[in-house]
Amino acid sequence: MSAVLSNAIVIIAIVVSAGYAVWRLGPRKMRDALRARLRTTLPRVFGNLSDTSSGGACDACGGGCAPTTKTGPAPRKEHAVLWRKSTR
């Protein structure tokens, strides 16, 4: 592999890594504004982006999680335990 191609691969990897870090760690307003801009300029590609910025358990499975419902009885409440000093 030539040195030029090798350096180009490294530079591309660094740029992608830095872009991802800015995307994940940057301000939420910036991400929302960029998503809105991408959605309006390229709706066929980015039309399915959700409005929520980040976080949530459903992001791990692609956002298609079914809502959970409680079917059983409510869990029993725990009572406070009082610790007393030994009188010995």
**Which DSSP string do the residues of 58-83 spell out, in sequence order?**
GGTTTS-PPPP---SPPPPPPPPPPP
- Convert the pLDDT of each residue in 15-70 to its tens digit: 999 988 888 888 888 888 888 888 888 888 777 766 554 555 555 555 556 656 65
pLDDT for res 6: 94
Which of 56, 59, 37, 55 lies closest to 46 in space, CA to CA?
37
Residue predicted with more confidence, 51 or 86: 86
Residues 6 or more apart whose Cβ sits within 8 Å of residue 31: 23, 53, 54
What was the pLDDT predicted at 12?
97
**Regarding predicted confidence, which is higher, 58 or 84?**
84
pLDDT surpasses 80 at 14: yes
Radius of gyration of the chain, Cα coordinates, nearest whole angstrom: 25
